[in-house]
Amino acid sequence: MRGKGALVALLASPSASYTAQQPRPRARRRPTRLEATTLDAKAVKGAPLDIGVEEPARSIDVYATLPPVDIRLLDEQEHDDLPGRTHVINLAKGPPCPDPFALVKSELIPFSDNMKLLVASENPILSQAASHFFEKRHGKRFRPTIVMLLAQALPNAHKDSSEVVFERQTRLGQVTEMIHVASLIHDDVLDDADTRRGGDAIHKMYSNKVAVLSGDYLLARASVLLAKLGHMDVVQVMARALDSLVSGEIMQIKANGAADKKSSEDKNEISEPMNGKRSFLDRAKAALNVGRSQEALQRELAERDAREMELYLRKSYYKTASLICDASRSCALLAGHASDSEVAAAAEEYGYHLGLAFQIVDDVLDFAMDDDQLGKPAGADLSLGLATAPILFAAQDHPELRPLIERRFKGDGDVTMAYETVRASTGMDLARKLAGFHAQRAVDAICRVAPDSEARDALISICYIVLSRNK
Amino acid sequence: MRGKGALVALLASPSASYTAQQPRPRARRRPTRLEATTLDAKAVKGAPLDIGVEEPARSIDVYATLPPVDIRLLDEQEHDDLPGRTHVINLAKGPPCPDPFALVKSELIPFSDNMKLLVASENPILSQAASHFFEKRHGKRFRPTIVMLLAQALPNAHKDSSEVVFERQTRLGQVTEMIHVASLIHDDVLDDADTRRGGDAIHKMYSNKVAVLSGDYLLARASVLLAKLGHMDVVQVMARALDSLVSGEIMQIKANGAADKKSSEDKNEISEPMNGKRSFLDRAKAALNVGRSQEALQRELAERDAREMELYLRKSYYKTASLICDASRSCALLAGHASDSEVAAAAEEYGYHLGLAFQIVDDVLDFAMDDDQLGKPAGADLSLGLATAPILFAAQDHPELRPLIERRFKGDGDVTMAYETVRASTGMDLARKLAGFHAQRAVDAICRVAPDSEARDALISICYIVLSRNK
């Protein structure tokens, strides 16, 4: 199910149309093929327009975003007889490789030194600001770890020696982290976020001036290093990643802006679709509740649920998955695999699903953690007006959450009410299940093209770590 | 005179060492070759460190920044017998082509439409902000005009048809303008500038959030479009241009930061070099004025003058000339000329000198104009702590300006005093003369490789316009 028909398919799927008032649909057992759902690019108007030159389809328009059955009925272990499925994630059993990060530790030590040098500049304030993330609070180094592990796991198809190729892939890992950090720094300016990664956000520690400039500096350095890799397709893929990060941020402020407008215009009319323009007749009908059967209302609610989930998944792709999946694809390209090769596609698919799983778990943790553990305030996403997977799933059982979602938690007490409701619901469990769906697909993708190796086990184990992390 | 010895040469040159107390050196007449002065990259520590991969020399380390003789004694028309000089700028006579902008007007109309589409996004606020510069206040469209004229003037050496090549060069012009506008938008956040191009700065009209995001958005779109040109060398050159813009901004806040520190630490000790660390003995000597002959003091002042001029020219290159000269070089590369070709070098040289001339005249106009005419407050650069060509030349005759320059005009009444002193000095005339030096070199460069044509005349005329503009 791809392209134009996807939204219809999504709306018709049991997961999307399920509400508390309806009987649960029966599970489809052991399908011969997993027909997963993708988003319709034209249905979601968040991405900027492109003209003049053709762009390849974004991964989110190619790969699955939701399982083909209601997430409540999904049991990945049922599908272990699927062709090509060589490893089924079993969190109880544990990952095949206990510490995947250890495998590339030696690669990341010079990486760290290099990064310090790369951000070194003669301006002490800027240098301090830019190296802040890399040194004192360098985070998980999640992205360069994935790139380095892929570099080891994927076969080298390049005419140049493995050493030369690996050197380029290392550089790609650095570029990826620089882009990631630059986007964090600029997002902090954008979001007025108070804390990030457990430390003060750069713009609070220094100033907006230094934050904007530090981000620009990292982006500029990343562009230069990327260009020097000398691989045109890689430049193009990574440029798209940068574009995606900005698109994600645009979607975010757009959703917020729309809610601002909405909540001031017609705060009490929550039964209409967001942003929908209505004629006088429509308004009159709505006021009199004429011609609206219970069934029609349910369908409308289901449509809105589906639209919110679409927006959420697309934003998650743009803001998180795109950089990981574009870096993964680039890593395969640097190893000499063609743009249309199975290896490049599988690497991209691995990064795509892993990235979505990562973001979904991140959003679950926003409800799970207190301030100390996560490094940012619990429920912070709600305060930013973000409706993430846990609350969207929770709303299916708790329709009272819908108006709060629609006004982006801007009403008095909305954040607390939403937080408590989600905590008491199955929303977090269902979101984790969706993350599991994506993690399994990431495993499937990498096993399709990488021969059995320690590095492949490490890439599989990363999926375990993403799913089971609780901080 | 290139490379390491350049600073020494610069210091020894009559222009740099001239002060009011010394007799003016005699002019060197009709040199057989113009030995112009370039900066020593290692002497000026403003640019960020680069490691790991070799970068080509920046244009500022290759081409002349200052004439080989005291600017006061320079008479370009003396040198019209120089080999390769086919056109000598004569402002009294006027440009060979009365309206160079008219020549590419038809190319810039679809350009404008394209730009509107390129910045179109579904977010109305962002879209409004990003298209703000392109539509309502689109400025001079100076950069795309130069790229389009070069596209017409340079011979096509590409195997593809002229139409296909021209289409790519048009795209390059758009990318160049997008990078330029993005840097303006981000600089506005950085500088807290109140006005730009006669309108409110974006971050005042909207918010820092929208300003950072609009700039990022344009940069990301520019990266994608640039990558799609599919020319690795062009990507690399334009990445360096982006890097230069950020480096220029870093130098700017660095100079300001150093002055802040300096002025709070030892406000009254103006005879020591900036940032110089001094031992107790040095301090004692300075206090007692022991061991400092008049000659040594003069030499020290001359050294400081030279250093300030170096900083100024390097910053002007990074912030203005680099984008123009890198875009010009890229335009030649897209026409199929090799990286090491004479055409690519000459195009770069044209853009380099034109860019410096443009910036120097811009800095003169900061002293010449009142608020209404320029679109930003007169003397705005002084308020930002910037010591530009007019004041650096003025200081050679008015040593009382030196302490003000050193503390970046942060003392009470400094801005007004500096402004009035420059207005009453020959600083603006001398700066215009330096601009003339660069404009003539731009003309020399383009005449070296472009056959006689209307477009070449237009490129020459652009130099006239840059020199004679008074707003």
- Number of A/B CB contacts below 8 angstroms equals 166
Eight-state DSSP code of residue A23 = P
Sequential DSSP letters for B374-428: HSS-TTHHHHTT---HHHHHHHHH-GGGHHHHHTTT-STTHHHHHHHHHHTSSHH
Over 60: is that where the pLDDT of A49 sits? Answer: no
Q: Which residues contact B206 (CB under 8 A, 6 or more apart)?
A: B125, B128, B129
**B-chain residues within 8 Å CB-CB of A236?**
224, 227-228
Residues A224, B240: C-beta atoms closer than 8 Å: yes
Tokens of A63: 């790969």
**A-chain residues within 8 Å CB-CB of B250?**
121-123, 126, 213, 217
Instruction: Give tens-digit pLDDT for B143-152.
Output: 999 999 999 9
Residues 39-68 of B with CB under 8 A from A: 45-53, 55
Q: Which of B232, B242, B253 is closest, CB to CB, to A209?
A: B253
Predicted local distance difference test score (pLDDT) of residue A188: 75
Q: Which of A55, A227, A250 is closest, CB to CB, to B121?
A: A250
Predicted local distance difference test score (pLDDT) of residue B14: 35
Nearest chain A Cα distance for residue B428, angstroms? 31
The arithmetic mean of pLDDT across residues A262-282, rounded, is 44
Best interface-test mutation with A: which of B216, B217, B249 has the largest number of A CBs within 10 A? B216
Rounded CA gap, B330 and A469, in Å?
A: 48
User: Residues B467, B439: contact at Cβ < 8 Å?
Assistant: yes
Instruction: Give tens-digit pLDDT for B328-359.
Output: 999 999 999 999 999 999 999 999 999 999 99
Cβ of residue B179 closer than 8 Å to a chain A Cβ: no
Cβ of residue A329 closer than 8 Å to a chain B Cβ: no
Over 60: is that where the pLDDT of A24 sits? Answer: no
The predicted complex's ipTM stands at: 0.78
Residues B213, A253: C-beta atoms closer than 8 Å: yes
The arithmetic mean of pLDDT across residues A344-364, rounded, is 97
Q: Are strands B199-200 and B195-196 parallel, antiparallel or unpaired?
A: antiparallel
Q: Which residues contact B167 (CB under 8 A, 6 or more apart)?
A: none
Over 70: is that where the pLDDT of A286 sits? Answer: no
**A-chain residues within 8 Å CB-CB of B48?**
120-122, 217, 221
Residues A250, B125: C-beta atoms closer than 8 Å: no
User: Residues A255, A408: contact at Cβ < 8 Å?
Assistant: yes
Q: Could you give the C-alpha distances from A94 to A78, A88, A99, B273, in angstroms and in order?
A: 18, 11, 11, 64
Best interface-test mutation with B: which of A116, A121, A245 has the largest number of B CBs within 10 A? A121
- Residue length, chain A? 471
Residue whose C-alpha is closest to residue B171's, from B334, B404, B40, B27: B334
Locus of tokens 């139409």: B163
Rounded CA gap, A387 and A267, in Å?
A: 18
Domain A100-468: which CATH class?
mainly alpha
Rounded CA gap, A409 and A421, in Å?
A: 13
Residue whose C-alpha is closest to residue B327's, from B197, B239, B221, B220: B239
Rounded CA gap, A222 and A130, in Å?
A: 13
Predicted local distance difference test score (pLDDT) of residue B236: 94
Over 60: is that where the pLDDT of B137 sits? Answer: no
Tokens of B38: 């370039």
Q: Could you give the C-alpha distances from A449 to A51, A90, A445, B109, B358, in angstroms and in order?
A: 35, 21, 7, 50, 55
Predicted local distance difference test score (pLDDT) of residue B148: 95
Three-class DSSP category at A200: strand
Rounded CA gap, A127 and B224, in Å?
A: 28
Residues 199-228 of B with CB under 8 A from A: 208-210, 212-213, 215-217, 219-221, 223-228
Instruction: Give tens-digit pLDDT for A77-89.
Output: 555 556 668 899 9
Nearest chain B Cα distance for residue A235, angstroms? 6
Nearest CA in chain A to B236: A227
Best interface-test mutation with A: which of B42, B128, B224 has the largest number of A CBs within 10 A? B224
Residues A121, B232: C-beta atoms closer than 8 Å: no
Nearest chain A Cα distance for residue B160, angstroms? 18
Task: Calculate the average pLDDT of chain B.
Answer: 77
Task: Calculate the average pLDDT of chain A.
Answer: 77
Residues A213, B246: C-beta atoms closer than 8 Å: yes
Instruction: Give tens-digit pLDDT for A199-252.
Output: 555 555 556 777 888 889 889 989 999 999 999 999 999 999 999 999 888 887
Percent of chain A with pLDDT over 90: 42
Q: Which of A52, A189, A224 is closest, CB to CB, to B243?
A: A224
Crossing angle between the packed helical segments B124-134 and B162-191, to the nearest 10 degrees = 110
More confident residue, B72 or A128: B72
Confidence of residue B135 (pLDDT cuts 50, 70, 90): low
Confidence of residue A108 (pLDDT cuts 50, 70, 90): confident
The arithmetic mean of pLDDT across residues B164-184, rounded, is 92
Residues A223, B242: C-beta atoms closer than 8 Å: yes
Rounded CA gap, A200 and A194, in Å?
A: 7
Best interface-test mutation with B: which of A212, A225, A247, A262 has the largest number of B CBs within 10 A? A212
Predicted local distance difference test score (pLDDT) of residue B62: 86
Nearest CA in chain B to A231: B232
Residues B53, A228: C-beta atoms closer than 8 Å: yes
Instruction: Give tens-digit pLDDT for B3-60.
Output: 333 333 333 333 333 333 334 333 333 333 345 566 544 433 333 333 344 556 788 8
Q: Which of A114, A125, A243 is closest, CB to CB, to B221?
A: A243
Locus of tokens 């590095």: A455
User: Residues A210, A202: contact at Cβ < 8 Å?
Assistant: yes
Nearest chain B Cα distance for residue A257, angstroms? 9
For B323, the enclosing helix (H) or strand (E) is helix B322-334
Residues B226, A239: C-beta atoms closer than 8 Å: yes
Predicted local distance difference test score (pLDDT) of residue A72: 83
More confident residue, B438 or B383: B438
Sequential DSSP letters for A57-98: PPGGGTS-SB-SS-GGG--GGGGTTSTT------TTT--SSS
Domain spanning B100-366+428-468 has what CATH number?
A: 1.10.600.10
For chain A, what are the domain ranges? 100-468
Lowest mean pLDDT among A166-175, A370-379, A416-425, B413-422: A370-379
Q: Could you give the C-alpha distances from B11 to A236, B34, B66, B299, in angstroms and in order?
A: 46, 18, 12, 9
Residues A190, B209: C-beta atoms closer than 8 Å: yes
Predicted local distance difference test score (pLDDT) of residue A168: 95
